[in-house]
Amino acid sequence: MAVEPDHNLIDLLGAPDPALEAVASGLSRVYPLGTTINAAGRLEIGGCDTIELAREFGTPAYIVAEDDIRARARAFRAAMAARCADFDVLFASKAFPCVAVYQLLAQEGLACDVASGGELHLALAGGFDPARIYMHGNAKSSSELAAALDAGVGQIVIDSFDEIARLVTLLDGRTQRVLVRVTPGIKPSTHDFISTGQLDSKFGMPLDVARKAIDLINATSGLELVGLHMHIGSQIFELESFRRSIQEIAKLGDFPVYDLGGGLGVAYTAADGPPSIDSYVEAKVSAANAQLGPDKRLLIEPGRSLVANSGVTLYSVESVKRNVSTYVAVDGGMSDNLRPMLYGATYEAAIADRMGPGGERCHVAGKHCESGDMIVRDVDLVDPVAGDILVTPVTGAYGHAMANNYNGVPRAPVVFCRNGDARVVVRRETFDDLIVRDVS
Ligand code: LLP
């Protein structure tokens, strides 16, 4: 019996959602597009059997359905193309900064936003045209600014007066196009740690300060101000915040280019109901057309909503302990997914060859030396035993990106799957990698 839910596709393309909860297959809609349960009852991602993937590549491992990312990139471009003549979709690359993902999204015709010298290096290695790279950052160093100028990045997004002063000293006769990052004074409903649109923020400048920055840039030779940038936060479901923030920045005057940021939330569990890509784009573009004028060049910067649902993490179960609660401990944790610990983020989990429904109420624990290292709380798992392969979906965004070596745990590989073929695009770290930077 091969089962394939099509509701994730419905979600993506923005069709009405009554069908969303009709999960006949028992497979949650948060898995990558094209995910199936094969005849052996095993989860298949990108046509690859996850039990076989775990055997071949080891665990933990980030498994990515390449076609899922492509479909979402196309959905963003199509939604923009249907509504504006002059636009670009920028991959907010902090969400999944590895060369293969940059390459894939460059192939799909996206532009790219980078937030550090390191991300700039990766984007160039991934083949992005420097002219379509946007350099962000609230604390850009001189060397990062110099690297951006030397690479010929299309736009630098100015975040402070100190940055303007520093950039001018580095121009050396060159002219650089810039945007000014504005904080519109809108606080969206999301976790405080990933909310950036409020006035009291380390990012950008409130409207009154931005006016002075605009005047200064206009009076500075070598800097060409093309427009404004804003990004009000991440994992946002309510579209009204985006509309209101566009209304705010309209007060700053008329510019040819507006970068409206990212922020579209995704479903981490079947209970989440984010807007579709299409309705998100509709909200931003219609507000922009009404408030800023219909002839503007509009940019958006999706990160999470491009890549989150494309990826799952495979773990091996190392122990099952019944201590008041049932603790299913796996071979990863806060080194490969910090989001539950940083933001209280919730995930689903399942045993990859016994996907449910039903089972025993468990906590999925990591291997690290802290009680807070809990990947998923209160999840039903079917007969979990040591040696099982456990899967957590929706780890494509900010998983690999925020991976670390706590407890000397080597970082996990990234494996791309497509049409039944799997290829490693980031190899697993080795123990020798762990000491390679240590001197003496
Ligand atoms: N543009 C700018 C300027 C940003 O700072 C960000 C994300 C984005 C675009 C993309 O936002 P997205 O479409 O992914 O929501 N580590 C956190 C998320 C931090 C987001 C930082 N900025 C997490 O795991 O939830």
pLDDT digits (tens, 9 = 90+) for 66-96: 999 999 999 999 999 999 999 999 999 999 9
What percentage of the chain carries pLDDT values higher than 90?
90
- Confidence tier at 9 by pLDDT (50, 70, 90): low
Task: Determine phi and psi for 340, rounding to 5 degrees.
Answer: -60, -35
Of 48, 112, 369, 417, catalytic: 369
Query: How many Å lie between the centroid of ligand 1 and the Cα of residue 91?
Result: 11
Asked if pLDDT for residue 20 goes beyond 50, the answer is: no
SS3 294: coil
Query: Which CATH architecture fits 67-305?
Result: Alpha-Beta Barrel (3.20)
The confidence score (pLDDT) of residue 440 equals 82
**What residues are paired with 223 via a beta bridge?**
176
SS3 177: strand
Instruction: Tell me the best of 89, 134, 304 to mutate to test the pocket of ligand 1, counting ligand atoms within 8 Å of each CB and taking the most.
Output: 304
The confidence score (pLDDT) of residue 278 equals 97
pLDDT digits (tens, 9 = 90+) for 405-414: 999 999 999 9
Q: Which atom of ligand 1 is nearest to the CA of 136?
A: 3
CA dist., res. 135 & res. 338, Å (int): 25
Name the DSSP letter for residue 275: P
Residue boundaries of the structural domains of the chain: 7-66+308-434, 67-305
The confidence score (pLDDT) of residue 356 equals 81
Instruction: Tell me the best of 93, 94, 392, 394 to mutate to test the pocket of ligand 1, counting ligand atoms within 8 Å of each CB and taking the most.
Output: 94
CA dist., res. 48 & res. 65, Å (int): 9
pLDDT (average), residues 352-376? 96
Cβ–Cβ under 8 Å, residues 408 and 437: no
Under CATH, to which class is 7-66+308-434 assigned?
Answer: mainly beta
State which H helix or E strand residue 437 sits in: none
The confidence score (pLDDT) of residue 12 equals 61
pLDDT digits (tens, 9 = 90+) for 245-291: 999 999 999 999 999 999 999 999 999 999 999 999 999 999 999 99
Strands 61-65 and 414-418: parallel
Asked if pLDDT for residue 236 goes beyond 50, the answer is: yes
CB atoms within 10 A of CB 123: 29
Residue whose CA is at the smallest distance from ligand 1 atom 7: 234
- Ligand 1 pocket, CB under 6 A: 92, 94-95, 113, 136, 194, 231, 234-235, 261-264, 301-305, 339, 343, 398
Residue whose CA is at the smallest distance from ligand 1 atom 8: 262
The confidence score (pLDDT) of residue 39 equals 94
**Is the peptide bond prior to 130 cis by the omega test (within 30 degrees of 0)?**
no
What residues contact residue 45 under an 8 Å CB cut-off, 6+ apart?
Answer: 31, 32, 34, 35, 53, 63, 64, 65, 312, 417
Mean pLDDT of the chain: 94
Residue whose CA is at the smallest distance from ligand 1 atom 24: 398
SS3 219: coil
CA dist., res. 31 & res. 7, Å (int): 10
Asked if pLDDT for residue 17 goes beyond 50, the answer is: no
Asked if pLDDT for residue 5 goes beyond 70, the answer is: no
pLDDT (average), residues 52-60? 98
Instruction: Tell me the best of 140, 157, 189, 234 to mutate to test the pocket of ligand 1, counting ligand atoms within 8 Å of each CB and taking the most.
Output: 234
Q: Which two tokens stand for residue 29?
A: 């809609």
Tell me the residue length of the chain. Answer: 440
CB atoms within 10 A of CB 230: 27
CA dist., res. 206 & res. 367, Å (int): 43
Active site residue 98: no
Q: Which atom of ligand 1 is nearest to the CA of 401?
A: 16
pLDDT (average), residues 14-40? 70
SS3 169: helix
pLDDT digits (tens, 9 = 90+) for 121-161: 999 999 999 999 999 999 999 999 999 999 999 999 999 99
What amino acid occupies position 131?
A
